[in-house]
Structure 1
């Protein structure tokens, strides 16, 4: 039995994600939480045939705790999206950290052994923020906290296949490392398996499109929305891989933004990149992230340049999250 709690189920990502989870044979119990709309989403989904249970909760009547109780996986998709209405990623972090801190606190109290999958942006700072809060609450486990960066992998697979014209999506594996922002997303197309069949300016164009894919969606939506449907699909794909691991099908590998130290092979990677949070391929197991699959290996000079840029940006992003959590915890203790 696998129970999934979707926090932010009434939003642009949460609703289509909940639909996909409702249809998945790997999910037995689906608990939807949002401040207002989750019960409506749950009733709507209940009209679709399926063996899975689906329930909706709001903040009333301890709804968050009820949604989290006995959860195996907690999906955090609540908060504002990265749209032109939010003037900077710093402003986005401040807005979403206020939402996520309350969710993290209840998670720590109700289901600290569940896998927490963080989709809320900016992932680069929100994941360290959540980790530091969980450390303060005494329940942190590096292997159970994931920043979901699968959208970058999905874009890499899709855009590279389009550039090659005759390669089907899904026929190759492309790892995307670093973080989840234009400055920190590093597609390792030089290590694509099987190898990429384009090069030069075409390959460079694919890399840029992957890194700035979010802007492409925002512009196509006339600057009034962000990538919601593709994010929902990518999150669903990662969640199904976690479900498979929970059900005993260990060995699946997915890229994710994780706290490296505390995961097998993570210390080596942390020493190599100089930061403790980094998106890397990890092997999933029943207890979470089993191990970091490999080092960065032999990469191109252009990819190394992007990694160097990413590390500089990530140091700042990580410190933003850590400082905010420590500040919150210090005030919380005083209060």
Structure 2
């Protein structure tokens, strides 16, 4: 009798886990998998990953599952999510993973989420520009953000889906129409540009990339990506050839990967790493840690453009402060002038897209 009472008490403390998994038979009583996991070993944040079955989504899901600040991880995609979820749920970290598949389950995947990360969309292929991605990915981002506005309007939202220069304005317009827009909580993830810049600069300097910090401003495509090499930490000087080489390689890092993969994909592993790094910084800030500064594409008054990537201070409410560009040299001022025209066109394209519906 005592054993049965303990068994009942244990069942009473268990919570839902893999919602769509089949029941497990154990000696007569039917224990379903959706009552076979507790909340996790430690408190943390609830995070949703939309586009979890894709080339970025899967490695990003793994990195998020390993983050001790996350207690619940919801994985959503239109296909293949049950398999990804089952696979990932076998890893022995404290976060509980739940899978959601198809448009009918989008809202369920977003209920109660505190951070929503959106890498959903098609990848770039050889010969394809970020503008070529627009017609497909714009609609995907709009639909997903409509779900966010309805189900978790106070969540921090990280936009990864390309072209970021256009998809962030799309998300902003969706939230404005829903009456839930908070510019502090919407961020375009440009961390990959920073990660590449740190890596390539470290190669030139011959030091550990972990010691290098390169501010990258503007946007997240081609010439709109502007590394500020005059503000590199540790303080360094570069020759004119080194500046040209580094700037060009940072701006075309995505194309370098696309061409190297010869049609088999785009930057997925490095993007997942960068997205996980930015998510970790955001979660630490949400937890209340001070002094967390990252680059991100956000609503901004740093320039005359409505959105711009620059260094921001993250806090409990998202973006607490947007830093000015700081002193630029002649090369960087020239690059800033060049990028603004292209970036403005991309922003306007995203804003106009939502007006059509």
TM score, norm. by length of structure 1: 0.91
Task: Find out whether 1:174 has 2:204 as its counterpart.
Answer: no
- In structure 2, the partner of 1:40 is 83
Give the secondary-structure state (helix, strand or coil) at the position aligned to 1:74: strand
Task: Find out whether 1:152 has 2:193 as its counterpart.
Answer: yes
Give the secondary-structure state (helix, strand or coil) at the position aligned to 2:338: helix
CA-CA distance at 1:156 after TM superposition:
0.4
Give the secondary-structure state (helix, strand or coil) at the position aligned to 1:50: coil
Instruction: Tell me the distance in 2 between the aligned counterparts of 1:277 and 1:39.
Output: 36
Contact 1:149 1:256 in 2 (8 A): yes
- In structure 2, the partner of 1:287 is 317
After superposition, residues 133-148 of structure 1 pair within 5 angstroms as 133-148=174-189
Figure out how many residues of one structure are paired with residues of the other and give that number.
Answer: 314
After superposition, residues 202-281 of structure 1 pair within 5 angstroms as 202-260=242-300, 267=301, 269=302, 273-281=303-311
Give the secondary-structure state (helix, strand or coil) at the position aligned to 1:183: helix
Contact 1:161 1:168 in 2 (8 A): yes
Aligned with 1:67 (options 89, 103, 109): 109
Give the secondary-structure state (helix, strand or coil) at the position aligned to 2:97: strand
CA-CA distance at 1:36 after TM superposition:
1.1
CA-CA distance at 1:219 after TM superposition:
1.3
Larger radius of gyration, structure 1 or 2?
2
- In structure 2, the partner of 1:106 is 147
- In structure 2, the partner of 1:333 is none
CA-CA distance at 1:251 after TM superposition:
2.3
CA-CA distance at 1:196 after TM superposition:
2.3
Could you tell me which runs of 5 or more consecutive residues in structure 2 were left unpaired when the two chains were aligned.
Answer: 1-43
Q: Which has the higher contact order (CA 8 A, sep 6+)?
A: 1
- In structure 1, the partner of 2:25 is none
Instruction: Tell me the distance in 2 between the aligned counterparts of 1:210 and 1:116.
Output: 25
Instruction: Tell me the distance in 2 between the aligned counterparts of 1:257 and 1:248.
Output: 22
Give the secondary-structure state (helix, strand or coil) at the position aligned to 1:274: coil
Aligned with 1:132 (options 155, 173, 176): 173
- In structure 2, the partner of 1:82 is 124
Could you tell me which runs of 5 or more consecutive residues in structure 1 were left unpaired when the two chains were aligned.
Answer: 261-266, 329-335
Instruction: Tell me the distance in 2 between the aligned counterparts of 1:206 and 1:117.
Output: 27
TM score, norm. by length of structure 2: 0.86
CA-CA distance at 1:197 after TM superposition:
4.6
Contact 1:128 1:322 in 2 (8 A): yes
Instruction: Tell me the distance in 1 between the aligned counterparts of 2:350 and 2:311.
Output: 23
- In structure 2, the partner of 1:263 is none
